[in-house]
Chain A
Amino acid sequence: MSEPIIQIQNLVKEYGQTRAVDQLDLEIKKGEIFGLLGPNGAGKTTIILTLIGLTEPTAGSVSVKGFNATTEPLKVKRVTGYLPDEVGFSGNRTGFESLIYTARLNSITKEKAAESAHKLLKKVGLEDAIHNKTKTYSKGMIQRLGLADVLIKEPEIMVLDEPTIGIDPKGINEFLEMIRNLSKEKGITVLLCSHLLHQVQKICDRVGILVDGQIRALGNIDELADDLFGDRDTTITAEVSPIPDSLVYNLKKVKQIREVQTNGNTITIKTNGTKEAAPLISQRIVQSGGQLYRLSYKEYGLDEIYQHYFEGGTIDV
């Protein structure tokens, strides 16, 4: 793709003794949807706040579209729309009025603001609630109004902090789909922060996994999984009754099998990860006269990626 629109170089942010962001380097390309994923307290919000110039970094620099976020925050904020986590609106204003207010702060004229507010509210599916006070809105509606609020300044970059929190599962998919469509339609670069890997990975072109202020992995989800689990053992569990004596011996002879354990009627077999192991195992079991009731293959997916990085745990195989 084209030039990086966001460049973070050697970013460090310290709060007292704790280091929230630790020498972070990151580039986000124009037009892509980048997911910054990490557990709570990993430094996601800190990175965002530095990005739009609301916090000064301890060291390092952030540039957005060529502007330094620390010294030229106004120019950065002009092209960047930020949807904070737990976004809110003055309850006594209508959704329409709230959008107009934001537009006017961006020096958009009243007429133009009204026109695009109507358009955007329709786009995010709030046309029925356009003139209702925002205190009557549900959490999902507030998030959608927040999205419209980000879009009314016609940003080139959208920064969304935990955008799916508090929305129901169906709403989440709609909301994320909306973000994806808008991004692709208008070529808006999206930086999306979340600790909900499952939800967010669906729409991200690339993700970065952030733990303790450092990027631990970068790429799309498939690449990450390959990196992690490519040469690892996989585990196959078989339920056989009865277990013939020769079976364990026979299984151990198979080249791909590393370890065999029996426990009652269950046999746990560790293989070196190649997929041919499963048919070979079933073959051996039948040959040795055992009855095969169940054969399960444990694959590594999002849960394991999540656990591996976010919880800092190792994968028990």
Chain B
Amino acid sequence: MKYINTILKEVPLMSDTPVQPFWIMVRKEISDHVRSWRFLILVALILLTTTGSIYTVLSVIRENPAELSANTTFLYLKLFTESTNNLPPFITLIGFLGPLVGIALGFDAVNSERDKGTLSRIISQPIPRDYFINSKFVGAMVVIFALIFALGFLTLGLGIIFIGLPPALSEVLRIFAFLVFTCIYIAFWLNLGITFSILFRQSSTSALSVLAIWLFFTVFYSMLVRFVANAFFYNQAAVQNLSIMLSRISPSFLFNELTTILLTPSIRSLGALSFEQVSGAIPSTLPLGQSMLLVWPDITALVAATLICFGVSYVLFMRQEVRA
């Protein structure tokens, strides 16, 4: 018994030593987010749309699998990528609504605290100044990870109940990777939101600016790219090449490319292949490692963009005057 007690004392959460102030701040961030209406509304929206999408796919799988595209291997991945009855697939819905979650958790992270007069009170406590911005980031990330993984595993579970077959390991790994990158993608928008919340004193201004950027990249950027590419080249292949290169500046394009390839093992290349390259190839699926290799540049770019955004917000916050 004595032995067990000593072991318990070693575990940080069980001992009497006070919890690190940083984790207290993170805990408060999490509970603030989870209780906020804005978060609850977004979660409800995501739940409604994704269950709709997944339910239709599941009923097709059960009743009329012939309607599904081409081969019926990787059934579980199809849950995320397939669309029927005009409902967009899970992957598109998350790519569309995920950024909104990130923005909603980030756009007023700093300026609202400044407005309320809590910022100067908190950082005058004996904590390093960067605890504030770090706890904002970590707190929101915990919430995002919990949300995305809960959603992904719920879908998987629903699939098992409906289909009755267990998913293959490679499918689970692919889904796991997909969920991780979704979180990173959302973290990008979260960090962008936090950056703007430091730049602008008014939370409405920062919300509108981030939303403008989001709208630009999800809706208008592709049109712009097509326009520019067409203006430079007549050759269709060249237009295609240029527009893909330009599109990859957009984080939402990166995310779409990345997730589509991760969840569709039959895609073998990012761009168009020539006849010479295709000739003799056996139309089979890629293993996870090869798919990852294919999108490795996308992954690097997405992670880099996320880190850059966080770095910028960190520096801005540390340099900004505290006074209102």
**Which A residues are within 8 Å of any B CB, using their own CB?**
45-46, 49, 52, 54-55, 74-75, 77-78, 80-84, 86-92, 101-102, 104-109, 146, 149, 153
Contacts and interface: CB of A to CB of B under 8 A. Distances in A.
B21 A82 contact: no
B33 to A, nearest CB: 12
Interface centre among A46, A49, A54, A104 (most CB of B within 10 A): A104
B120 A109 contact: no
Interface in B95-154: 115-118, 120-129
Nearest to B18: A107
SS class of chain B's interface: helix, strand, loop or mixed? loop
Contact of A74 (B28, B122, B126): B126
B70 interface: no
Interface stretch (B71-79, B192-200, B239-247, B316-324): B316-324
Nearest to A84: B120
Contacts of B35: 92
29 contacts: A45-B323, A49-B323, A54-B124, A54-B129, A55-B322, A74-B126, A74-B128, A77-B125, A77-B127, A80-B124, A82-B121, A82-B124, A84-B117, A84-B120, A86-B117, A89-B116, A89-B118, A89-B121, A90-B116, A101-B24, A102-B125, A104-B18, A104-B24, A105-B25, A106-B21, A106-B125, A109-B16, A149-B121, A153-B125
A90 B124 contact: no
A94 to B, nearest CB: 13
A90 B323 contact: no
A86 B324 contact: yes
A-B complex: 10 closest residue pairs judged by Cβ atoms: A88-B117, A88-B116, A82-B124, A84-B120, A77-B126, A78-B126, A105-B125, A86-B117, A54-B322, A105-B21
Contact of B24 (A77, A87, A91, A105): A105
Contact of B322 (A49, A106, A149, A153): A49
B215 to A, nearest CB: 30
Contacts of A108: 18
Contacts of A55: 321-322
Nearest to B19: A104
Nearest to B24: A104
A105 B322 CA distance: 19
Interface centre among A45, A82, A89, A105 (most CB of B within 10 A): A105
B21 A104 contact: yes
A70 to B, nearest CB: 13
Contacts of A75: 126
Given A55-B322, A77-B127, 17 more contacts: A45-B323, A46-B323, A52-B124, A54-B123, A54-B129, A74-B128, A84-B121, A87-B117, A87-B120, A87-B121, A88-B115, A90-B118, A102-B121, A104-B19, A104-B24, A105-B24, A106-B125
A54 B16 CA distance: 31
Contacts of A104: 18-19, 21, 24
A135 to B, nearest CB: 10
Contacts of B117: 84, 86-88
Interface in B8-59: 16, 18-19, 21, 24-25, 28, 32, 35
A65 B229 CA distance: 66
Nearest to B36: A92
Nearest to B23: A104
A54 B120 contact: yes
A257 B18 CA distance: 74
B21 A107 contact: yes
A74 B128 CA distance: 7
B38 to A, nearest CB: 13
Nearest to B16: A109
A93 to B, nearest CB: 9
A226 B227 CA distance: 80
Contacts of A107: 18, 21, 126
Nearest to A161: B120
Given A55-B322, A101-B24, A109-B16, A77 B118 contact: no
Contacts of A109: 16, 18
Interface in B298-324: 321-324
Contact of A88 (B18, B25, B118, B129): B118
Interface centre among B35, B122, B323 (most CB of A within 10 A): B323
A202 B32 CA distance: 41
Nearest to B118: A88
A80 B126 CA distance: 9
A91 B37 CA distance: 14
A82 B24 CA distance: 20
B250 to A, nearest CB: 36
Nearest to A146: B121
B197 to A, nearest CB: 16
Contacts of B116: 88-91
Nearest to B20: A107
Interface centre among B18, B19, B129 (most CB of A within 10 A): B18
A136 to B, nearest CB: 15
A75 to B, nearest CB: 8
A143 to B, nearest CB: 11
Nearest to A77: B126
Contact of B28 (A46, A80, A82, A101): A101
A88 B121 CA distance: 8
A52 B125 CA distance: 10
B121 A105 contact: no
A149 B120 CA distance: 13
A195 to B, nearest CB: 16
Contacts of B24: 101, 104-105
Given A105-B125, A107-B21, A82 B118 contact: no
